[in-house]
Structure 1
């Protein structure tokens, strides 16, 4: 029969071994670039003039991407909807963490009943004719990338400081007001930093809870 103190040690070692394997690591990318003329700049909502954004203005964005999670939409009522593309295919999770155009005026409200869009399409590149995109928003500040030039590498990441690390045919930032008017501009940017963002998965807490419960029970029995 295993002594209680030895069983406690076994449980502790099990937790140490199981913990790291149960962690998922999304990656936060910082993109920096500048506003371009593109198809043109639309400032119907007046946000760009308020922030002094014109052609040539420097912009930066932070986007958290987890290729192992499904893309979602968060509604105003708190409902979370898993997002699929127009062909019914799955998406991956991509969250707009912050950017040059985020202000209190356009961060707290939302447009069309959606608080956040957190998704990207076509996780792996399987052909040269394939749609690759990201659509992320916080409040009514909507960031979109279309016709991305590269897919993640074998580790599920893009490289920082590469000329085509995160290139896309179209990079666009659209900000809606409460009436549906928009301020829209196009920009060009590249990744300047990439770092992992550790997030504990539910299984980690399950292992931890079971281990602690076992140790407590063993100590109680030992006292009796």
Structure 2
């Protein structure tokens, strides 16, 4: 299964900066090592759709839980599909923490994403206090179960230990694999044979110097990358590191 690097820009880059980033990537990128996809702010999506090099996917960082209607400030899955989006991140820890998104909301968003022919990247993962109590597996699987209620198997799962996001701390490859194994078992129970086609990503301070060891684990199929996604040099470094993964 080909590794996916889902590049989550978060609230960074204006449309003009995105255009420059895409141009630089286009000059230097060689397709083949990993699949790249940029998870962009809404206002940069159209710019990237017109400027990303061939073979690089396009994603959004969030979506409305409603199909359409009087929801000021919201963006629907149908709108995202119409501008060329392929992936949509749902349930990122920052959405859960800062906007109070529950597992039910995440599942509702994922279902609408799928209904519009897009692929949801469903995020799950524990905070530091949960890990310190040794409850990371039970907590993450409960979150996974709730976030996939009614959701089909056309999905990507991103395990993101919250304590490792933007902190400079990184779960070890063994830490990540422990949760990936548990997630895979839960996916197999839910989806049967179709679960073998689901990619499980790791997210949390991923960089060129640690991505190879993480993705070398048999149950991890790429990464949800934050800070290291903002510089083309770092993206290319991660792509190169996965040549033999």
TM, length-normalised to structure 1: 0.30
Higher relative contact order (CA 8 A, sep 6+): 1
Q: Which has the higher helix share?
A: 2
- Which structure dedicates a bigger proportion of its chain to strand? 1
Bigger radius of gyration, 1 or 2?
1
TM-score normalized by structure 2? 0.28
